[in-house]
Chain A
Protein backbone atom coordinates (compact mmCIF):
# COMPACT_ATOMS: atom_id res chain seq x y z
CA UNK A 1 0.00 0.00 0.00
CA UNK A 2 1.73 3.15 -1.16
CA UNK A 3 2.00 5.75 -3.86
CA UNK A 4 4.13 5.71 -7.00
CA UNK A 5 5.33 8.91 -8.62
CA UNK A 6 7.60 9.56 -11.59
CA UNK A 7 9.87 12.58 -11.82
CA UNK A 8 12.23 13.70 -14.52
CA UNK A 9 15.69 14.99 -13.69
CA UNK A 10 18.29 16.52 -15.98
CA UNK A 11 19.60 13.18 -17.16
CA UNK A 12 17.41 10.56 -15.56
CA UNK A 13 13.92 9.50 -14.53
CA UNK A 14 13.25 9.06 -10.83
CA UNK A 15 10.63 6.50 -9.83
CA UNK A 16 9.52 6.97 -6.22
CA UNK A 17 7.51 4.54 -4.12
CA UNK A 18 6.35 6.20 -0.91
CA UNK A 19 4.38 4.68 1.94
CA UNK A 20 3.84 5.95 5.47
CA UNK A 21 6.76 8.36 5.27
CA UNK A 22 9.31 5.94 3.76
CA UNK A 23 10.48 6.49 0.21
CA UNK A 24 12.35 4.16 -2.13
CA UNK A 25 13.99 5.51 -5.26
CA UNK A 26 14.88 3.98 -8.59
CA UNK A 27 16.73 5.93 -11.25
CA UNK A 28 16.66 5.28 -14.96
CA UNK A 29 19.23 7.27 -16.87
CA UNK A 30 17.99 8.59 -20.21
CA UNK A 31 21.04 7.15 -21.94
CA UNK A 32 20.12 3.64 -20.74
CA UNK A 33 16.42 3.52 -21.62
CA UNK A 34 15.84 1.02 -24.43
CA UNK A 35 12.05 1.06 -24.72
CA UNK A 36 8.85 2.30 -23.14
CA UNK A 37 5.74 0.17 -23.68
CA UNK A 38 2.19 1.20 -22.75
CA UNK A 39 -0.44 -1.55 -22.91
CA UNK A 40 -4.12 -0.72 -22.69
CA UNK A 41 -5.92 -2.55 -19.87
CA UNK A 42 -9.56 -3.08 -19.01
CA UNK A 43 -9.25 -1.85 -15.43
CA UNK A 44 -10.96 1.44 -16.28
CA UNK A 45 -13.84 -0.36 -17.96
CA UNK A 46 -14.21 -2.68 -14.99
CA UNK A 47 -14.33 0.35 -12.69
CA UNK A 48 -17.00 1.86 -14.93
CA UNK A 49 -19.03 -1.35 -14.81
CA UNK A 50 -18.77 -1.61 -11.04
CA UNK A 51 -19.68 2.05 -10.58
CA UNK A 52 -22.54 1.63 -13.04
CA UNK A 53 -23.81 -1.35 -11.10
CA UNK A 54 -23.57 0.53 -7.81
CA UNK A 55 -25.32 3.47 -9.44
CA UNK A 56 -28.25 1.30 -10.46
CA UNK A 57 -28.36 -0.38 -7.04
CA UNK A 58 -28.62 2.97 -5.26
CA UNK A 59 -30.77 4.75 -7.83
CA UNK A 60 -33.50 2.09 -8.16
CA UNK A 61 -34.57 2.25 -4.49
CA UNK A 62 -35.18 6.00 -4.86
CA UNK A 63 -38.29 5.00 -6.85
CA UNK A 64 -39.84 3.27 -3.84
CA UNK A 65 -38.19 4.69 -0.71
CA UNK A 66 -39.14 7.84 1.14
CA UNK A 67 -37.81 10.03 3.92
CA UNK A 68 -34.24 9.70 5.19
CA UNK A 69 -33.52 6.51 3.16
CA UNK A 70 -34.52 8.38 0.01
CA UNK A 71 -32.07 11.18 0.87
CA UNK A 72 -29.35 8.63 1.60
CA UNK A 73 -29.91 6.87 -1.73
CA UNK A 74 -29.94 10.17 -3.62
CA UNK A 75 -26.69 11.20 -1.93
CA UNK A 76 -25.03 7.87 -2.73
CA UNK A 77 -26.31 8.01 -6.32
CA UNK A 78 -24.91 11.51 -6.78
CA UNK A 79 -21.55 10.54 -5.28
CA UNK A 80 -21.20 7.39 -7.38
CA UNK A 81 -22.30 9.28 -10.48
CA UNK A 82 -19.60 11.86 -9.80
CA UNK A 83 -16.97 9.13 -9.45
CA UNK A 84 -18.19 7.54 -12.67
CA UNK A 85 -17.92 10.83 -14.53
CA UNK A 86 -14.40 11.37 -13.20
CA UNK A 87 -13.37 7.86 -14.22
CA UNK A 88 -14.77 8.34 -17.71
CA UNK A 89 -13.11 11.75 -18.03
CA UNK A 90 -9.70 10.36 -17.05
CA UNK A 91 -10.01 7.92 -19.91
CA UNK A 92 -8.84 4.33 -20.48
CA UNK A 93 -6.26 2.70 -18.23
CA UNK A 94 -2.95 1.21 -19.21
CA UNK A 95 0.11 -0.53 -17.84
CA UNK A 96 3.38 1.23 -18.70
CA UNK A 97 6.70 -0.61 -18.70
CA UNK A 98 10.18 0.84 -19.03
CA UNK A 99 12.93 -1.37 -20.40
CA UNK A 100 16.68 -1.07 -19.95
CA UNK A 101 19.45 -3.55 -20.67
CA UNK A 102 19.21 -5.12 -17.22
CA UNK A 103 15.62 -4.64 -16.04
CA UNK A 104 12.01 -4.17 -17.05
CA UNK A 105 10.23 -1.89 -14.62
CA UNK A 106 6.50 -1.21 -14.37
CA UNK A 107 5.78 2.49 -14.05
CA UNK A 108 2.70 2.29 -11.82
CA UNK A 109 2.20 6.05 -11.79
CA UNK A 110 1.44 6.04 -15.53
CA UNK A 111 -1.83 4.10 -15.39
CA UNK A 112 -3.98 6.31 -17.62
CA UNK A 113 -3.49 6.07 -21.36
CA UNK A 114 -3.83 9.81 -22.08
CA UNK A 115 -1.22 10.70 -19.46
CA UNK A 116 1.07 7.88 -20.57
CA UNK A 117 0.93 9.03 -24.21
CA UNK A 118 1.66 12.60 -23.20
CA UNK A 119 4.64 11.57 -21.07
CA UNK A 120 5.95 9.19 -23.72
CA UNK A 121 5.83 11.95 -26.35
CA UNK A 122 7.84 14.31 -24.14
CA UNK A 123 10.21 11.62 -22.93
CA UNK A 124 10.89 10.48 -26.47
CA UNK A 125 12.19 13.93 -27.38
CA UNK A 126 14.42 14.09 -24.30
CA UNK A 127 15.83 10.62 -24.92
CA UNK A 128 16.46 11.51 -28.55
CA UNK A 129 18.55 14.46 -27.42
CA UNK A 130 20.69 12.13 -25.32
CA UNK A 131 20.81 8.99 -27.48
CA UNK A 132 20.11 10.42 -30.89
CA UNK A 133 17.28 9.54 -33.23
CA UNK A 134 16.49 5.95 -34.17
CA UNK A 135 17.03 5.56 -37.88
CA UNK A 136 15.48 2.99 -40.22
CA UNK A 137 18.87 1.28 -40.38
CA UNK A 138 18.86 0.93 -36.58
CA UNK A 139 15.42 -0.67 -36.77
CA UNK A 140 16.58 -3.18 -39.34
CA UNK A 141 19.72 -3.95 -37.32
CA UNK A 142 17.46 -5.73 -34.88
CA UNK A 143 18.34 -9.40 -35.59
CA UNK A 144 15.59 -11.77 -36.79
CA UNK A 145 14.64 -14.92 -34.90
CA UNK A 146 13.96 -18.22 -36.65
CA UNK A 147 10.46 -18.14 -38.10
CA UNK A 148 10.87 -14.66 -39.51
CA UNK A 149 9.79 -12.88 -36.36
CA UNK A 150 12.06 -9.94 -35.51
CA UNK A 151 13.18 -9.32 -31.96
CA UNK A 152 15.30 -6.64 -30.35
CA UNK A 153 19.03 -7.01 -29.96
CA UNK A 154 20.51 -6.84 -26.50
CA UNK A 155 20.35 -9.09 -23.50
CA UNK A 156 17.16 -7.61 -22.13
CA UNK A 157 15.78 -9.22 -19.03
CA UNK A 158 17.50 -12.60 -18.90
CA UNK A 159 14.62 -14.28 -17.12
CA UNK A 160 11.97 -13.54 -19.85
CA UNK A 161 9.41 -16.35 -19.84
CA UNK A 162 8.28 -18.03 -23.07
CA UNK A 163 5.11 -16.75 -24.75
CA UNK A 164 1.95 -18.04 -23.10
CA UNK A 165 0.06 -20.44 -25.41
CA UNK A 166 -3.33 -19.17 -26.53
CA UNK A 167 -6.03 -21.88 -26.41
CA UNK A 168 -8.81 -22.16 -28.93
CA UNK A 169 -12.29 -21.78 -27.46
CA UNK A 170 -15.34 -22.68 -29.52
CA UNK A 171 -17.65 -20.42 -27.50
CA UNK A 172 -20.33 -23.04 -26.85
CA UNK A 173 -20.88 -21.99 -23.26
CA UNK A 174 -21.01 -18.34 -24.31
CA UNK A 175 -23.63 -19.17 -26.93
CA UNK A 176 -25.74 -20.95 -24.28
CA UNK A 177 -25.33 -17.99 -21.93
CA UNK A 178 -26.41 -15.34 -24.42
CA UNK A 179 -29.26 -17.49 -25.69
CA UNK A 180 -30.51 -17.98 -22.16
CA UNK A 181 -30.33 -14.23 -21.58
CA UNK A 182 -32.57 -13.71 -24.60
CA UNK A 183 -34.97 -16.44 -23.46
CA UNK A 184 -35.14 -14.90 -19.99
CA UNK A 185 -35.89 -11.54 -21.58
CA UNK A 186 -38.76 -13.05 -23.54
CA UNK A 187 -40.16 -14.79 -20.43
CA UNK A 188 -40.02 -11.60 -18.42
CA UNK A 189 -41.59 -9.50 -21.16
CA UNK A 190 -44.69 -11.76 -21.08
CA UNK A 191 -45.17 -10.77 -17.44
CA UNK A 192 -46.17 -7.32 -18.63
CA UNK A 193 -49.26 -8.87 -20.22
CA UNK A 194 -50.23 -11.75 -17.96
CA UNK A 195 -48.90 -13.21 -14.71
CA UNK A 196 -48.44 -16.96 -14.50
CA UNK A 197 -46.57 -18.86 -11.84
CA UNK A 198 -45.06 -21.19 -14.43
CA UNK A 199 -43.41 -18.20 -16.15
CA UNK A 200 -41.98 -17.02 -12.84
CA UNK A 201 -40.58 -20.48 -12.14
CA UNK A 202 -39.04 -20.72 -15.61
CA UNK A 203 -37.62 -17.21 -15.32
CA UNK A 204 -36.10 -18.03 -11.92
CA UNK A 205 -34.60 -21.25 -13.29
CA UNK A 206 -33.21 -19.35 -16.28
CA UNK A 207 -31.66 -16.74 -13.97
CA UNK A 208 -30.04 -19.50 -11.92
CA UNK A 209 -28.66 -21.19 -15.04
CA UNK A 210 -27.38 -17.83 -16.30
CA UNK A 211 -25.52 -17.38 -13.02
CA UNK A 212 -23.87 -20.78 -13.38
CA UNK A 213 -23.10 -20.36 -17.09
CA UNK A 214 -21.50 -16.95 -16.65
CA UNK A 215 -19.01 -18.37 -14.13
CA UNK A 216 -18.17 -21.29 -16.42
CA UNK A 217 -17.85 -18.92 -19.40
CA UNK A 218 -15.49 -16.62 -17.52
CA UNK A 219 -13.27 -19.52 -16.53
CA UNK A 220 -13.24 -21.00 -20.02
CA UNK A 221 -12.48 -17.74 -21.81
CA UNK A 222 -9.30 -17.12 -19.84
CA UNK A 223 -6.20 -17.10 -22.08
CA UNK A 224 -8.15 -18.11 -25.20
CA UNK A 225 -8.52 -16.67 -28.67
CA UNK A 226 -12.03 -15.34 -28.06
CA UNK A 227 -12.38 -11.73 -29.25
CA UNK A 228 -12.06 -8.93 -26.70
CA UNK A 229 -15.63 -7.59 -27.08
CA UNK A 230 -17.04 -11.04 -26.38
CA UNK A 231 -15.02 -11.32 -23.18
CA UNK A 232 -16.24 -7.87 -22.19
CA UNK A 233 -19.85 -8.99 -22.78
CA UNK A 234 -19.27 -11.98 -20.52
CA UNK A 235 -17.91 -9.78 -17.75
CA UNK A 236 -20.88 -7.45 -18.19
CA UNK A 237 -23.15 -10.48 -17.84
CA UNK A 238 -21.53 -11.16 -14.48
CA UNK A 239 -22.37 -7.64 -13.38
CA UNK A 240 -25.93 -8.08 -14.58
CA UNK A 241 -26.26 -11.41 -12.75
CA UNK A 242 -25.00 -9.83 -9.54
CA UNK A 243 -27.45 -6.93 -9.91
CA UNK A 244 -30.45 -9.19 -10.57
CA UNK A 245 -29.58 -11.46 -7.67
CA UNK A 246 -29.36 -8.45 -5.35
CA UNK A 247 -32.65 -7.00 -6.57
CA UNK A 248 -34.34 -10.39 -6.38
CA UNK A 249 -33.06 -10.86 -2.83
CA UNK A 250 -34.24 -7.38 -1.81
CA UNK A 251 -37.65 -8.04 -3.38
CA UNK A 252 -37.95 -11.29 -1.50
CA UNK A 253 -37.01 -9.61 1.76
CA UNK A 254 -39.50 -6.76 1.22
CA UNK A 255 -42.24 -9.27 0.51
CA UNK A 256 -41.34 -11.35 3.54
CA UNK A 257 -41.36 -8.28 5.82
CA UNK A 258 -44.69 -7.10 4.44
CA UNK A 259 -46.22 -10.58 4.77
CA UNK A 260 -44.63 -12.21 7.80
CA UNK A 261 -47.04 -15.15 7.59
CA UNK A 262 -45.42 -16.39 4.39
CA UNK A 263 -41.84 -15.54 5.39
CA UNK A 264 -40.96 -19.21 5.96
CA UNK A 265 -42.91 -20.53 2.98
CA UNK A 266 -40.88 -20.24 -0.23
CA UNK A 267 -43.75 -21.47 -2.39
CA UNK A 268 -46.06 -18.74 -1.09
CA UNK A 269 -43.37 -16.14 -1.76
CA UNK A 270 -42.98 -17.38 -5.34
CA UNK A 271 -46.76 -17.34 -5.82
CA UNK A 272 -47.07 -13.80 -4.51
CA UNK A 273 -44.20 -12.61 -6.72
CA UNK A 274 -45.78 -14.22 -9.78
CA UNK A 275 -49.18 -12.65 -8.96
CA UNK A 276 -47.57 -9.21 -8.71
CA UNK A 277 -47.77 -7.28 -11.95
CA UNK A 278 -44.80 -5.07 -12.96
CA UNK A 279 -47.27 -2.24 -13.41
CA UNK A 280 -48.18 -2.46 -9.71
CA UNK A 281 -44.72 -2.70 -8.19
CA UNK A 282 -41.74 -0.43 -8.85
CA UNK A 283 -39.31 -3.07 -7.66
CA UNK A 284 -40.64 -5.72 -10.01
CA UNK A 285 -40.75 -3.18 -12.81
CA UNK A 286 -37.07 -2.33 -12.21
CA UNK A 287 -36.17 -6.02 -12.12
CA UNK A 288 -37.99 -6.75 -15.36
CA UNK A 289 -36.50 -3.73 -17.12
CA UNK A 290 -33.03 -4.88 -16.04
CA UNK A 291 -33.60 -8.35 -17.46
CA UNK A 292 -35.03 -6.95 -20.70
CA UNK A 293 -32.07 -4.59 -20.93
CA UNK A 294 -29.66 -7.46 -20.51
CA UNK A 295 -31.40 -9.44 -23.22
CA UNK A 296 -31.20 -6.52 -25.64
CA UNK A 297 -27.76 -5.16 -24.77
CA UNK A 298 -25.88 -8.29 -23.75
CA UNK A 299 -27.65 -11.37 -25.12
CA UNK A 300 -28.28 -10.14 -28.66
CA UNK A 301 -24.93 -8.38 -29.24
CA UNK A 302 -23.13 -11.33 -27.65
CA UNK A 303 -24.66 -13.75 -30.11
CA UNK A 304 -23.91 -11.42 -33.02
CA UNK A 305 -20.24 -11.03 -31.98
CA UNK A 306 -19.93 -14.79 -31.53
CA UNK A 307 -21.43 -15.41 -34.95
CA UNK A 308 -19.10 -12.88 -36.60
CA UNK A 309 -16.02 -14.32 -34.94
CA UNK A 310 -16.96 -17.79 -36.17
CA UNK A 311 -17.50 -16.51 -39.70
CA UNK A 312 -14.13 -14.73 -39.56
CA UNK A 313 -12.41 -17.85 -38.29
CA UNK A 314 -13.81 -19.96 -41.10
CA UNK A 315 -12.91 -17.34 -43.75
CA UNK A 316 -9.77 -17.19 -45.98
CA UNK A 317 -7.75 -15.26 -43.35
CA UNK A 318 -7.78 -18.10 -40.88
CA UNK A 319 -6.89 -17.03 -37.33
CA UNK A 320 -4.59 -20.03 -37.05
CA UNK A 321 -2.35 -18.86 -39.90
CA UNK A 322 0.86 -17.12 -38.83
CA UNK A 323 0.58 -14.46 -41.52
CA UNK A 324 -2.81 -13.37 -40.21
CA UNK A 325 -1.46 -13.27 -36.64
CA UNK A 326 1.33 -10.90 -37.62
CA UNK A 327 -0.99 -8.32 -39.20
CA UNK A 328 -0.96 -5.18 -37.04
CA UNK A 329 -4.04 -2.98 -36.77
CA UNK A 330 -3.35 0.65 -35.77
CA UNK A 331 -5.93 2.38 -33.62
CA UNK A 332 -6.10 5.65 -31.66
CA UNK A 333 -6.98 5.49 -27.95
CA UNK A 334 -10.76 5.44 -27.51
CA UNK A 335 -12.53 6.70 -24.41
CA UNK A 336 -12.94 4.13 -21.66
Chain B
Protein backbone atom coordinates (compact mmCIF):
# COMPACT_ATOMS: atom_id res chain seq x y z
CA UNK B 1 0.00 0.00 0.00
CA UNK B 2 1.46 3.35 -1.07
CA UNK B 3 0.99 5.91 1.66
CA UNK B 4 2.38 9.31 2.43
CA UNK B 5 5.34 8.76 4.73
CA UNK B 6 4.22 11.64 6.97
CA UNK B 7 0.45 11.36 7.43
CA UNK B 8 -0.03 7.81 6.05
CA UNK B 9 -2.81 8.92 3.69
CA UNK B 10 -3.09 6.80 0.53
CA UNK B 11 -1.54 8.33 -2.58
CA UNK B 12 -3.25 8.66 -5.94
CA UNK B 13 -2.01 7.31 -9.30
CA UNK B 14 -1.27 10.89 -10.39
CA UNK B 15 1.37 11.15 -7.67
CA UNK B 16 3.60 8.28 -8.85
CA UNK B 17 6.50 8.27 -11.30
CA UNK B 18 6.31 12.00 -11.97
CA UNK B 19 10.07 12.51 -11.27
CA UNK B 20 9.17 15.71 -9.45
CA UNK B 21 7.67 16.76 -6.12
CA UNK B 22 3.93 16.24 -5.74
CA UNK B 23 1.82 17.47 -2.83
CA UNK B 24 0.13 14.90 -0.61
CA UNK B 25 -3.64 15.58 -0.73
CA UNK B 26 -3.97 15.23 3.05
CA UNK B 27 -0.98 16.95 4.64
CA UNK B 28 0.36 18.94 1.65
CA UNK B 29 3.79 17.43 2.20
CA UNK B 30 5.89 17.34 -0.97
CA UNK B 31 6.83 13.85 -2.15
CA UNK B 32 8.45 12.15 -5.08
CA UNK B 33 7.19 8.59 -5.50
CA UNK B 34 8.86 6.11 -7.85
CA UNK B 35 7.19 2.72 -8.10
CA UNK B 36 8.35 -0.37 -9.95
CA UNK B 37 6.70 -3.51 -11.41
CA UNK B 38 7.45 -5.49 -8.23
CA UNK B 39 4.59 -3.61 -6.57
CA UNK B 40 2.08 -5.65 -8.56
CA UNK B 41 3.83 -8.93 -7.91
CA UNK B 42 2.27 -11.10 -5.22
CA UNK B 43 4.51 -12.98 -2.81
CA UNK B 44 4.99 -16.66 -3.74
CA UNK B 45 3.11 -18.96 -1.40
CA UNK B 46 5.45 -21.07 0.73
CA UNK B 47 5.26 -24.82 0.43
CA UNK B 48 4.53 -26.86 3.56
CA UNK B 49 5.65 -30.25 2.32
CA UNK B 50 3.63 -33.34 1.50
CA UNK B 51 2.88 -35.92 4.20
CA UNK B 52 4.47 -39.36 3.82
CA UNK B 53 1.94 -41.66 2.19
CA UNK B 54 4.01 -44.79 1.74
CA UNK B 55 6.13 -46.32 4.53
CA UNK B 56 9.30 -47.03 2.58
CA UNK B 57 9.49 -43.49 1.13
CA UNK B 58 12.29 -41.23 2.35
CA UNK B 59 11.22 -38.74 5.02
CA UNK B 60 12.64 -35.32 5.89
CA UNK B 61 15.42 -35.30 8.51
CA UNK B 62 13.77 -32.44 10.42
CA UNK B 63 10.12 -33.46 9.78
CA UNK B 64 10.01 -37.28 9.70
CA UNK B 65 6.30 -37.26 8.77
CA UNK B 66 6.90 -35.21 5.64
CA UNK B 67 8.11 -36.54 2.30
CA UNK B 68 11.71 -35.73 1.37
CA UNK B 69 12.12 -34.15 -2.03
CA UNK B 70 15.78 -33.12 -2.18
CA UNK B 71 19.02 -33.73 -0.26
CA UNK B 72 20.92 -30.79 1.28
CA UNK B 73 23.82 -29.81 -0.96
CA UNK B 74 26.10 -29.27 2.08
CA UNK B 75 25.29 -31.96 4.63
CA UNK B 76 23.36 -34.45 2.49
CA UNK B 77 20.34 -34.63 4.81
CA UNK B 78 16.98 -35.25 3.18
CA UNK B 79 14.72 -32.23 3.13
CA UNK B 80 11.00 -31.71 2.67
CA UNK B 81 9.52 -28.78 0.73
CA UNK B 82 9.33 -26.72 3.93
CA UNK B 83 13.00 -27.15 4.83
CA UNK B 84 14.28 -26.80 1.26
CA UNK B 85 16.07 -23.42 0.95
CA UNK B 86 17.33 -22.28 -2.43
CA UNK B 87 20.54 -20.26 -2.07
CA UNK B 88 22.51 -19.16 -5.12
CA UNK B 89 21.46 -22.18 -7.13
CA UNK B 90 22.03 -24.73 -4.32
CA UNK B 91 19.42 -26.42 -2.13
CA UNK B 92 20.43 -26.44 1.55
CA UNK B 93 18.83 -27.00 4.94
CA UNK B 94 18.15 -24.32 7.58
CA UNK B 95 21.03 -25.54 9.74
CA UNK B 96 23.55 -25.27 6.91
CA UNK B 97 22.18 -21.82 6.12
CA UNK B 98 22.79 -20.76 9.71
CA UNK B 99 26.31 -22.26 9.61
CA UNK B 100 27.03 -20.47 6.35
CA UNK B 101 25.96 -17.22 7.99
CA UNK B 102 28.05 -17.77 11.14
CA UNK B 103 31.17 -18.95 9.28
CA UNK B 104 30.80 -16.22 6.64
CA UNK B 105 30.72 -18.65 3.74
CA UNK B 106 28.50 -16.31 1.75
CA UNK B 107 29.28 -12.59 1.78
CA UNK B 108 25.66 -11.72 1.07
CA UNK B 109 24.48 -13.49 4.22
CA UNK B 110 26.54 -11.31 6.51
CA UNK B 111 24.62 -8.67 8.39
CA UNK B 112 27.19 -7.63 10.97
CA UNK B 113 30.93 -7.08 11.13
CA UNK B 114 33.37 -5.74 13.66
CA UNK B 115 35.88 -3.40 12.07
CA UNK B 116 38.94 -3.73 14.27
CA UNK B 117 40.85 -1.14 12.23
CA UNK B 118 38.31 1.53 13.18
CA UNK B 119 38.30 0.37 16.81
CA UNK B 120 42.11 0.48 16.97
CA UNK B 121 42.16 4.00 15.52
CA UNK B 122 39.43 5.17 17.93
CA UNK B 123 41.26 3.66 20.91
CA UNK B 124 44.50 5.35 19.86
CA UNK B 125 43.00 8.78 19.16
CA UNK B 126 40.05 9.29 21.49
CA UNK B 127 42.10 8.36 24.56
CA UNK B 128 44.25 11.45 23.89
CA UNK B 129 41.41 13.56 25.31
CA UNK B 130 42.47 12.33 28.75
CA UNK B 131 46.16 11.96 28.14
CA UNK B 132 47.09 9.80 31.13
CA UNK B 133 44.70 7.15 29.76
CA UNK B 134 47.01 6.62 26.78
CA UNK B 135 49.36 4.61 29.01
CA UNK B 136 46.72 1.86 28.79
CA UNK B 137 45.18 2.59 25.42
CA UNK B 138 48.41 2.82 23.40
CA UNK B 139 49.48 -0.80 24.04
CA UNK B 140 45.86 -1.86 23.53
CA UNK B 141 45.76 -0.13 20.14
CA UNK B 142 49.01 -1.82 19.10
CA UNK B 143 47.70 -5.20 20.26
CA UNK B 144 44.50 -4.73 18.25
CA UNK B 145 46.52 -3.74 15.20
CA UNK B 146 48.83 -6.74 15.35
CA UNK B 147 46.21 -9.27 16.42
CA UNK B 148 43.61 -8.30 13.79
CA UNK B 149 45.87 -7.22 10.93
CA UNK B 150 44.55 -10.02 8.72
CA UNK B 151 40.99 -10.11 10.12
CA UNK B 152 38.26 -9.15 7.64
CA UNK B 153 37.36 -5.48 7.96
CA UNK B 154 34.34 -3.73 6.51
CA UNK B 155 32.37 -5.47 3.79
CA UNK B 156 33.23 -2.49 1.59
CA UNK B 157 36.83 -3.08 0.43
CA UNK B 158 39.27 -0.65 1.97
CA UNK B 159 42.97 -0.33 2.75
CA UNK B 160 44.64 -0.84 6.11
CA UNK B 161 45.31 2.86 6.55
CA UNK B 162 43.38 2.93 9.82
CA UNK B 163 45.59 0.20 11.28
CA UNK B 164 48.70 2.04 10.10
CA UNK B 165 47.53 5.35 11.60
CA UNK B 166 46.55 3.65 14.86
CA UNK B 167 49.99 2.01 15.01
CA UNK B 168 51.77 5.31 14.37
CA UNK B 169 49.71 7.28 16.90
CA UNK B 170 49.94 4.57 19.58
CA UNK B 171 53.65 4.17 18.90
CA UNK B 172 54.21 7.90 19.33
CA UNK B 173 52.28 7.80 22.62
CA UNK B 174 54.40 4.90 23.93
CA UNK B 175 57.59 6.73 22.92
CA UNK B 176 56.28 9.79 24.76
CA UNK B 177 55.63 7.79 27.91
CA UNK B 178 59.05 6.15 27.73
CA UNK B 179 60.68 9.58 27.47
CA UNK B 180 58.54 10.85 30.32
CA UNK B 181 59.47 8.02 32.66
CA UNK B 182 63.13 8.23 31.63
CA UNK B 183 63.23 11.93 32.50
CA UNK B 184 61.37 11.23 35.72
CA UNK B 185 63.90 8.56 36.67
CA UNK B 186 66.81 10.83 35.79
CA UNK B 187 65.43 13.73 37.80
CA UNK B 188 64.94 11.56 40.88
B7 close to chain A: CB less than 8 A = yes
Please name all residues of chain A whose beta carbon is closer than 8 Å to the beta carbon of B113 when the two chains form the complex.
Answer: 22-23, 25
Q: Once A and B bind, how many residue pairs between them come within 8 Å at the CB atom?
A: 184
Q: With A31-B38, A152-B2 in contact, do A331 and B13 touch (Cβ < 8 Å)? A: no
A97 to B20, CA, bound (A): 16
| Contact residue among B12, B16, B32 (Cβ-Cβ distance under 8 Å from A38) | B32
* Residue B36 is within 8 A (CB to CB) of chain A in the complex: yes
A59-67, A124-132, A248-256 - interface stretch: A124-132
Let me know if A325 and B26 touch, CB within 8 A: yes
Which residues of A are found within 8 Å of B69, using beta-carbon distances?
Answer: none
Q: What residues of chain B lie closer than 8 Å to A320, measured between beta carbons?
A: none
Q: Is residue A151 within 8 Å, beta carbon to beta carbon, of the partner chain?
A: yes
CB–CB B39/A36 < 8 A: no
Residues of chain A contacted by B19 (CB below 8 angstroms): 121
- For the side of the interface on B, what is the size category? 35 or more
Determine whether A260 belongs to the interface, using a CB cutoff of 8 Å to chain B. no
Known interface pairs A139-B16, A155-B43, A328-B15; A160-B3 also in contact (CB < 8 Å) = yes
With A7-B156, A23-B155, A153-B39 in contact, is A142–B18 under 8 Å at CB? no
Query: Does B183 lie at the interface of the complex (its beta carbon under 8 Å from any beta carbon of A)?
Result: no
Closest beta carbon of chain A to B112's beta carbon, Å: 5
Kindly list chain A residues whose C-beta atoms are within 8 Å of the C-beta of B32: 37-38, 116-117, 120
Report chain A residues within 8 Å CB of B114. 21-23
B182 interface residue, CB < 8 Å from A?
Answer: no
Is A18 engaged at the interface, CB distance under 8 Å to the other chain? yes
In the complex the two chains form, is A131's CB within 8 Å of B36's CB? Answer: yes
A residues touching B (Cβ–Cβ < 8 Å)? 7, 12, 14, 16, 18, 20-27, 31-40, 95, 97, 99-102, 116-117, 120-121, 123-124, 127-128, 131-134, 138-142, 145, 149-157, 160-164, 166, 227-228, 325-333
